[in-house]
């Protein structure tokens, strides 16, 4: 959600409407004048304003993802996670993804007005009613702007797909022999899709700790 600046005269500013075609500058101007709007995105120059959030189709999966990323960030000094931050990617794209994980000093930066500019290393989207945009328009935007990893949870299909940017293309990460997905960008960021889909948060968090512990042990062995 955008931080609101004092409105110069809200009556003189047209409200955002779903499907509007706007520049990023005009999108931000209208969004800042509408404090009652909690989430709006600009994707390929088109405004998207999502429906009210349902518990099991969005809010609960979203909470699981945030807990997973938060547990990882707690164990990494240079990693920051965020919930629905505004991300300025280019002049036609300003999404507000469900969650992000970024490396401080990496491919994105925090602007003077406290927004993310440039691609965070990992973006996560919970796709229920938004599945078409998350797997099509947004996927293309994130790939084009160099988001290194993109995880999409398709709630109704009960599937998790974790894309990795390789040679300019998004390729799904392949699980290891134990069914575990492992980030190529964030050492020790592991995920059991089955545990996440089942809502087994204790197993999800335990796996994060295992990944972090193994990464620490590997780093220590390199210095022996």
Residue 182 to residue 180: CA distance in whole angstroms: 6
User: Rounded to two decimals, what is the model's pTM?
Assistant: 0.90
Asked if residues 94 and 24 have their Cβ atoms less than 8 Å apart, the reply is yes
Give the model's pLDDT for residue 223.
65
Residue 184 to residue 20: CA distance in whole angstroms: 37
State the DSSP string of 53-78.
PPIIIIIHHHHHHHHHHHHHHHT-TT
Give the model's pLDDT for residue 7.
45
Give the model's pLDDT for residue 217.
86
Asked if residues 173 and 182 have their Cβ atoms less than 8 Å apart, the reply is yes
Residue 156 to residue 158: CA distance in whole angstroms: 5
Give the residue among 30, 50, 54 at the shortest CA–CA distance from 41: 50
Q: Hey, which CATH number is domain 15-219, 3.40.50.510, 3.40.50.300, 3.90.1570.10, 3.40.50.720?
A: 3.90.1570.10
Going by C-beta distance under 8 Å and a sequence separation of 6 or more, which residues neighbour residue 26?
none
Give the model's pLDDT for residue 130.
65
Structure token pair of residue 148: 């290194």
Per-residue pLDDT of the chain (224 residues; tens, 9 = 90+): 555 444 445 557 899 999 999 999 999 999 999 999 989 999 999 999 988 889 999 999 999 999 999 999 999 999 999 999 999 999 999 999 999 999 999 999 999 999 999 999 999 999 976 677 888 899 999 999 999 999 999 999 999 999 999 999 999 999 999 999 999 999 999 999 999 999 999 999 999 999 999 998 887 777 65
Give the residue among 82, 134, 69 at the shortest CA–CA distance from 108: 82
Domain ranges (residues) in the chain: 15-219
């Amino acid at each position: 959600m955008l931080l609101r600046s004092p409105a110069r005269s809200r009556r003189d500013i047209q409200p955002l409407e779903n499907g509007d075609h706007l520049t990023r500058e005009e999108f931000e101007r209208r969004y800042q004048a509408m404090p009652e709007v909690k989430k709006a995105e600009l994707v390929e120059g088109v405004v998207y304003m999502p429906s009210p959030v349902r518990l099991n189709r969005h809010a609960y999966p979203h909470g699981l993802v945030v807990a997973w990323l938060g547990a990882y960030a707690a164990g990494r000094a240079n990693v920051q996670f965020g919930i629905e931050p505004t991300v300025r990617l280019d002049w036609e794209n300003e999404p507000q993804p469900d969650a992000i994980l970024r490396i401080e000093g990496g491919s994105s930066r925090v602007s003077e007005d406290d927004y993310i500019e440039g691609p965070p290393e990992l973006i996560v989207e919970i796709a229920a009613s938004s599945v078409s945009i998350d797997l099509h328009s947004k996927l293309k935007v994130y790939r084009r702007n160099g988001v290194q990893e993109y995880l999409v949870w398709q709630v109704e299909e009960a599937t998790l797909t974790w894309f990795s940017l390789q040679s300019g293309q998004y390729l799904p990460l392949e699980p290891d022999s134990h069914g575990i997905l492992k980030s190529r960008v964030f050492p020790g960021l592991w995920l059991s899709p089955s545990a996440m889909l089942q809502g087994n948060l204790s197993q999800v968090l335990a796996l994060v700790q295992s990944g972090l512990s193994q990464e620490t042990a590997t780093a220590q062995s390199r210095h022996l």
